[in-house]
Amino acid sequence: MPTIAEQLSSYATALHYRDLPPEVVHHAKRMMIDTVGCALGGYTSEPSKIARDLASTVTSAQPCTVIGSGLTTSPDLATFANGVMIRYLDYNDGYTSKESGHPSDSIAAVLAASEMAHAGGRRAIAATIVAYETFCRIGDAATLKYLGWDHVTNGCIASILGATRALGLSPEHTHQALNLGITPNIALGQTRAGVLSHWKGCAYANASRNAVFAVMLAQRGLTGPAPVFEGENGFFKAVTREPYELEPFGGVQGQPYKILECSIKRFALGQYSQTVAQAALEARQQIPNLNINDIAQVKVRTLQKAIDIMAGDEEKWHPKTRETADHSMPYATAVCLKYGTITQRHYDDEHLHDQELMGLVQRVKVEVSEEANRRVPEAMLCDVEILMKNGRRYASQVAYHKGHHKNPLTDAEVEEKFRALAKELLTPVQTDALLDRLWHLEQVEDMRQVMGLMKI
């Protein structure tokens, strides 16, 4: 019986663009467009500036491009800088399962490896799908959060395989990259507990940076500890505490591709609050001339895991940082009710210090819905009920937020989101050209051509 690392290596090296159904290719391009848009939207953030400043201190014989600046640096630091930008707004895609997360974060590793290899768009698409398959299948197999680990531990594995596929490495080199990348890169779940710091948006970027470094070592012949999953002190003993088996990958034995089960975010906030925000907005629409001071209480009922992540500690009712606020279910609910929307600007200090808004946050009560628990991960069911001081009640229920894979954004809506994120950085002509290349990525002969179009 092949080891888990052997199974992953075999799948990653065997998947080719020619094997992919058209709808899978198209959805991969949608995800890549959304991811690049999120990176442009996160360009001006403080963590992104820090990551670019660090990247600027290094030159490389294998230069890779930093999105926006056009700066070239080492492959691992380009991966980190681009990964920080992709993740900062908490606006890129999501996948929910035993262990959830954002597989598009691995696109930072795919882009760097594609540049190193002078690979074309077809290989970049295949590498992206490998990364998604890896992240989602491992997420289906075991939970990490309740054992104290962060989901980016799985992200490192996905980024390793995305990068090795983009580079076109052999099964043996891919296997060694897994050994080298997994062993030293197990991430603590403290990243997403208490007052959240800049690191929340940097953790997966760092996992991808480490993944690319491991891949570069394996490419040169370095070997790593094996068997990395099943070994005496391996991944199963230290991380998951028990072994698991992986379901067949996309395209194997008729299995669907997991990228088709990933959702694009409508709002810049944690994925488990997407249905909460939509339900709050729908309930608000029922109230003419709403004054939030007339609200006595807001009841939110949703699944336990969403509450654990988005409302599981006191800081979520008193967010002091942007990172805490975009992972706060009560804060998202209050913003939606006060403003009728929620955008990146609602995490600025003026809103975090708004006493009227924070007063409403304290009146949000969150409860577990057993029906929602039963339906996860197929749906992220949420009920929001607004109780007014005059005794009237208004309610809405949402199972599939707009952007969920069962209620997807149209291609036009994906473009609209991209344009909104890029408009402060790129001219309309630049945006049109970049979108055209990304929609026709299979025609690109060298991904450096695409990276050049991302320069401000």
Widest Cα–Cα separation across the chain? 72
Output Rg (C-alpha) for the chain, integer angstroms.
21
**Cα separation, 456 vs 113, whole angstroms:** 22
Which residues, in sequence order, are CB contacts of 57 under 8 Å at separation 6+?
Answer: none
**Cα separation, 342 vs 278, whole angstroms:** 10
Which residues, in sequence order, are CB contacts of 83 under 8 Å at separation 6+?
Answer: 105, 108, 109, 202, 204, 205, 206, 208, 209
- Per-residue pLDDT tens listing for the chain (456 residues): 899 999 999 999 999 999 999 999 999 999 999 999 999 999 999 999 999 999 999 999 999 999 999 999 999 999 999 999 999 999 999 999 999 999 999 999 999 999 999 999 999 999 999 999 999 999 999 999 999 999 999 999 999 999 999 999 999 999 999 999 999 999 999 999 989 999 999 999 999 999 999 999 999 999 999 999 999 999 999 999 999 999 999 999 899 999 999 999 999 999 999 999 999 999 999 999 999 999 999 999 999 999 999 999 999 999 999 999 999 999 999 999 999 999 999 999 999 999 999 999 999 999 999 999 999 999 999 999 999 999 999 999 999 999 999 999 999 999 999 999 999 999 999 999 999 999 999 999 999 999 999 999
Find how far residue 231's CA is from the centre of its chain.
30
β-pair type (382-388, 72-73): unpaired
pTM summary value: 0.96
Which domains are present in the chain? 4-266+421-452 (1.10.4100.10), 271-398 (3.30.1330.120)
Q: How far apart are the first and last CA of the chain?
A: 51
Q: Is the dihedral of CA 432, 438, 440, 445 positive or negative?
A: positive
**Cα separation, 200 vs 100, whole angstroms:** 15
Whose CA is closest to 35, among 97, 96, 135, 111?
A: 111
